[in-house]
Structure 1
Amino acid sequence: MTQSSIGAEGQVADDIPDYPMPRAKGCPLDPSPGLRDLQVKAPLARVRLWDGSTPWLVTRHALQRALLADKRVGSDILLPGYPHVSESFRDRRAEIRAFINIDDPEHARQRQMLSPSFTVKRIEKLRPTVQRIVDDLIDKLLAQPKPVDLLSEFALPVSSLVICHVLGVPYEDRESFQRTSRILMHRQSTKETALAAQMELVGYFDQLIGRKLDAPADDLLSLLATEQLKTGQMTRPDLAMIALILLIGGHETSADMITLGALALLMHPDQLAMVRETDDPKLIASATEELLRYLSIAHGGRRRVALEDIEIAGEVIRAGEGLVIPTEIGDRDETVFHDPDVLDVHRDARKHNVFAFGMHQCLGHPLVRVELQTVYGTLYRRIPTLALAVDVSDLEFKNEGLAYGVHELPVTW
């Protein structure tokens, strides 16, 4: 048999499961039972993707960290063997690449230009601004007739206002960038539709960058435009793509996490009570990390490809073979987190892999943490009777996107 037809523990082609794997009915916040089975039986195993390819699926927390930090593992989407999410994503990403989907040294060069703007110390200075945004939106929420969709009326405005403030994007343009972002985050958007949305957003940022060059302000795009473009360290198309990635990641995924975190707490009233009744920022920070771990909303697996042969966990991953690393099951690993399927806001969950690990760790994680801590530490205190307005079984979940969440979260109080 060929290497491609044999996987972990003698796994042969007929035994290779399809990926992604469905969740169990009635358990919308838990990873697929299929992922749990593989984690127990074969933490490094083959799975079959939409195109018939059979990359390795990595389900144990330690293995995920080891491979995410391994310099013999690449993120370049143009590499042969890269395990694409869908045909649409493969085709459109080949046209225009972002810094998160390239490898060093170019990845490191671009990342080093951005890193100073996302240090913990610098982001902490934004906390009062984020607090004002959250408080203002809760005021508006309370003034509306009930029930209210927490996603569209609170979570999405919070995340959009925050990232607009950081980047220097006019908030009045939100309908346009939210529409194009939804298209780009959808797994099955056609190549033509997605490329049109991507080019529209890149064109928007190109014009905005031009305005920043003419009249710089106190924002990230102005800083990068004046420091990097004028010195030739970055090209204008590169900056436009960086802005696109930061904008989409800064509002789409954060909005989903705010909403899904609210749902998780409402489904666990004992944990919600502890969050609602505390004024201890350490407990709010702990609850934030636990919700990130418990939900791990990037439910599609980090995608990588081996650059060299890698011997690990009793297997040999050959150069050119793909890797799929689903953090939602890695963060439910009982060897790292006691009773991992239990939501416990007092748990020390800081070892989660939500933001990835190693050289491609999410650049904006300090901003996400400040945003979530502010929301979780404010929303339930100010609306102590917040409750679901529908049964959980009536909610429609986002299984078609790169980030997991709900399409609407009707709440009342």
Structure 2
Amino acid sequence: MTTTPEPTTAPAAEENAARCPFSGADLKDFPFAREQPFAPPAHYRQMREDDPLPQVRIPTGKTPHLVTRYADVRAALANPAVSSDIRIPAFPAMGAGEQEAAARARPFIRTDPPEHTKIRRMLVAEFTMRRTEALRPRIRATAERQLDRMLQTGAPADLVRDYANVLSTTTVLELFGAPAEDVEFFRDVTRVSGGRDSTAEEVNAALGRLFGVLNAMVNERIEKPGEDLLSALVQRYLMPELITRQELLSTVGITIVAGRETTTSMITLGALYLTRNPELRDRVLADPRLWATVIEELLRVLSVADTIPLRVAKSAVDLPSGTIPEGEGIIALLAAANHDPNEFPDPERVDPERPQKHHLAFGHGIHQCLGQNLARVELHEALAALFGRMPALREAHPQAPLDVKPDSATYGLDSLRVTW
């Protein structure tokens, strides 16, 4: 069990309060809303320029530090003194039920070495570029099938429900050999388990339903293994007792939930960006070689996993812009880092010729997203197929406000009505 860090000493807290204009009675409530979908909240720029490591108040009442500059975010996520262990009381869980439920389920993204190392090493070989490239034809087939259905049904359609969610969820379920008939079940589980307003009881119930489905699949793979990833994990790790069943269920569950949620958001928002920037859309359709660089830029600009890197300082953490005291929570803002003009000039523009490719959309360090290669393939195939079949795709109600998910850990839309 990880030792809980000692509370910050009074002198350190006083020094930090003097340095931070948002401290004490002036603490701002976090998270901030995005004023528009393709850029971080305006507060990020102000903090990055004037106070790059401020303390804020989050919905659970804790007061972690935000990390807003590119160099600081990169340094924080690579620092071994920065812990991902959600059992530490100061961990800046954003949701009311997140900390209690995750402390029980122990998803590997909320653990430190050696627990994290064991699980990550188990998965990393399955998400190499070669393995994910082999999935490209299947992903393209799913995209084409959904587009056939949309065209047959006719406009308008909901790009989230009818396309992005089906493609992302089907892809990750097929990877594990899970039945892909009920994609809305997995969307509902994600909505509850990743919702900041969900109670611990609601999160535990949602994860219980998910683990029940996965547990039945594990029993099937023990009796009759197949060619899917779950079969490989059962045969190589569970049956030789290298991992426990709980570790396996938690690992598969978080991979499905996180994989489908972020990719659904990226497909939807990436499509929306291209519909609102027709010159870029026409350019990439005329020269498909640009898709790879446009995908990287969309990942950077949109940064849908902005607040996923939640951490705790196990000891004082020295960053280029200052020191975060021992025992305090940390939220490394990926969108703030990816829009740092010192690293990415004209950061809000998707620039296919941008020489800087080292964005942090997938995080950094030992917790950098395992599924990033798969996400790139999915996003490429989804957008190329979508605009290849529907080059005139546009919002059905362009004057209506966007249906932004109100309390999700991942930035995205609940729905997007489109026509063509």
Deviation at 1:301, TM superposition (A): 4.7
Deviation at 1:249, TM superposition (A): 1.5
CA RMSD of aligned residues (A): 1.7
Q: Is the 8 A contact 1:150 1:409 kept in 2?
A: yes
Residues 1:167 and 2:198 are matched in the alignment: no
Give the counterpart of 1:287 among 294, 297, 319: 294
C-alpha distance in 2, partners of 1:400/1:187?
5
Matched residue, 1:65 = 74
Deviation at 1:186, TM superposition (A): 1.3
Deviation at 1:22, TM superposition (A): 2.7
Residues 1:326 and 2:333 are matched in the alignment: yes
Matched residue, 1:374 = 381
Residues 1:356 and 2:356 are matched in the alignment: no
Distance change >3 Å, CA 394–CA 22, structure 1 → 2: closer
C-alpha distance in 1, partners of 2:275/2:176?
32
**SS at 1:44's partner residue?**
coil
Q: Deviations over 1:313-352 (max 9, x none)?
A: 3533222111111111110010111100222233345211
Q: Is the 8 A contact 1:181 1:252 kept in 2?
A: yes
Q: Is the 8 A contact 1:296 1:331 kept in 2?
A: yes
Matched residue, 2:347 = 340
Matched residue, 1:399 = 406
**SS at 1:324's partner residue?**
strand
Matched residue, 2:249 = 240
**SS at 1:143's partner residue?**
helix
C-alpha distance in 1, partners of 2:61/2:202?
24
Deviation at 1:263, TM superposition (A): 0.8
> Number of aligned pairs?
409
Can you give the 5+ residue segments of structure 2 that lack an aligned partner in the other structure? 1-9
Q: Is the 8 A contact 1:258 1:375 kept in 2?
A: yes
Matched residue, 1:128 = 137
C-alpha distance in 2, partners of 1:119/1:177?
25
Deviation at 1:392, TM superposition (A): 5.1
Residues 1:296 and 2:303 are matched in the alignment: yes
Matched residue, 2:30 = 19
Residues 1:252 and 2:261 are matched in the alignment: yes
Q: Deviations over 1:258-313 (max 9, x none)?
A: 00111111111111111222232xx1110111111110012435110111222223
Residues 1:49 and 2:53 are matched in the alignment: no
Q: Is the 8 A contact 1:8 1:45 kept in 2?
A: no
C-alpha distance in 1, partners of 2:140/2:321?
49
**SS at 2:86's partner residue?**
coil
**SS at 2:323's partner residue?**
strand
Give the counterpart of 1:411 among 393, 397, 418: 418
Moved over 3 A (4+): none
C-alpha distance in 1, partners of 2:43/2:379?
30
Moved more, 191-200 or 45-54: 45-54
Q: Is the 8 A contact 1:306 1:318 kept in 2?
A: yes
Deviation at 1:391, TM superposition (A): 1.4
C-alpha distance in 2, partners of 1:315/1:107?
28
Specify the code of the residue in structure 1 equivalent to 2:93: H
Q: Is the 8 A contact 1:35 1:59 kept in 2?
A: yes
Q: Is the 8 A contact 1:288 1:372 kept in 2?
A: yes
Specify the code of the residue in structure 2 equivalent to 1:156: N
Deviation at 1:239, TM superposition (A): 0.7
Distance change >3 Å, CA 101–CA 273, structure 1 → 2: same
Matched residue, 2:190 = 181
**SS at 2:331's partner residue?**
strand
Identity rate of aligned residues, in percent? 35
Deviation at 1:8, TM superposition (A): 7.0
TM-score with structure 1 length normalisation?
Answer: 0.95
C-alpha distance in 1, partners of 2:182/2:221?
16
Distance change >3 Å, CA 51–CA 175, structure 1 → 2: closer
Q: Deviations over 1:206-245 (max 9, x none)?
A: 1111101111111100000011111111111111111111
Residues 1:137 and 2:146 are matched in the alignment: yes
1:100-249 map, 5 Å = 100-249=109-258
Q: Is the 8 A contact 1:44 1:313 kept in 2?
A: no
Q: Is the 8 A contact 2:101 2:204 kept in 1?
A: yes
